[in-house]
Amino acid sequence: MKIGNITFKEYPLILAPLEDVTDLPFRLICKRLGADLMYTEFISSEGLIRDARKSVVKLELEDEERPVGIQIFGHDTDSMIKATKIAEQANPDLIDINFGCPVRKVTSKGAGAAMLLNVPKMIEITKAVVKATRLPVTVKTRLGWDENSKNIVEVAEQLQDTGIAALTIHARTRAQLYRGIADWTLIGEVKNNPRITIPIIGNGDIDGPAKAMEMKNRHGIDGIMIGRAAIGNPWIFREVKQYFRNGSIPPPADITERVGICKEHLAHSVSYKGERRGMFEMRKHYSNYFKGYQNFKAFKVKLMGTEEVEEVMGILGEVEGYYKG
């Protein structure tokens, strides 16, 4: 698959942009474990223009995570143009437009998935962003606003005509949020539409190698995006990649690897964010890395209660020793 001037030698596995998850430390972990392309957390166009710290800090990229895209969202064309130019200065490999976020604080302002209710505005913004940058532009969206307005087949054609380099489709409507079962049928229709020539990437409910292979083979999509299933489980990229290569699935990450990855994640977090903030923001990840391990709650309490990096590293060593027996 090729997106602009980015060529993927293997079938691409892509880390979805996830708010408060896919920051630089987490992306570095996923890259090492097999992710082929990643996006930043979604960034408010208005926040970038105002130079808001929360938005600007998300622009930080590292060469070792490339190729990487910056994802922006907004409802105003001029603001999206300005945000695109600011994002371009961070030297990403591509720009992605979020027309898929379903949360109320975004859709209530007419942005994210709300653009599916205003397709002319969606197309206007996309054309403007494509024109404003030298970089490839991609789009991520959903099947439609609700069950009665699944308009993705028509929307995909119009988006392609703006000059975007690829389209990612989440296999749910906005009304579903993240509930229910993802329906990939319409993604397949978009991909098999003879008018569509750009790469089509599928997203939604990919929780392991078998599901990834099933969606790849059934719908002929050009790439797979993995989001929530990578939280606390970044080795999902390695597992899917190996399954695609030779049909085998590596054994699940054992406690030693889980502890090792958690320590690596913590080290990245502290390095890039400073000790206090890096420690604080890691707290949401501990339970995810050890999900399913009985009696972990006592360790979690200890991990959440310390503000010293070396103490946390020591507690993680205790976790490994306890579960190794």
What's phi and psi for 76, nearest 5 deg? -110, 130
Q: Please give the sequence-ordered ranges of beta strands (E in DSSP) within 166-207, or none if there are none.
A: 166-170, 200-203
H helical segments located in 67-194: 77-88, 104-107, 119-132, 152-161, 185-191
The contacts of residue 124 (CB under 8 Å, 6+ apart) are 77
Residue of 196, 194, 139 lying closest to 169 (CA atoms): 139
- The residue type of 228 is R
The single residue listed with the structure tokens 């719908």 is 219
Give the Cα separation of 151 and 214 in Å (integer).
24
Give the Cα separation of 195 and 153 in Å (integer).
10
The single residue listed with the structure tokens 């027309």 is 99
Catalytic entry in 14, 86, 101, 186: 101
Question: Across the strands, what pairs with 202?
Answer: 169, 224
Active-site annotation holds for 262: no
Is beta strand 223-226 parallel, antiparallel or unpaired with respect to 13-15? parallel
- The residue type of 80 is M
The contacts of residue 43 (CB under 8 Å, 6+ apart) are 55, 58, 59, 70, 71, 72, 73, 83, 87
What is residue 308's DSSP assignment? -
- Active-site positions read 101
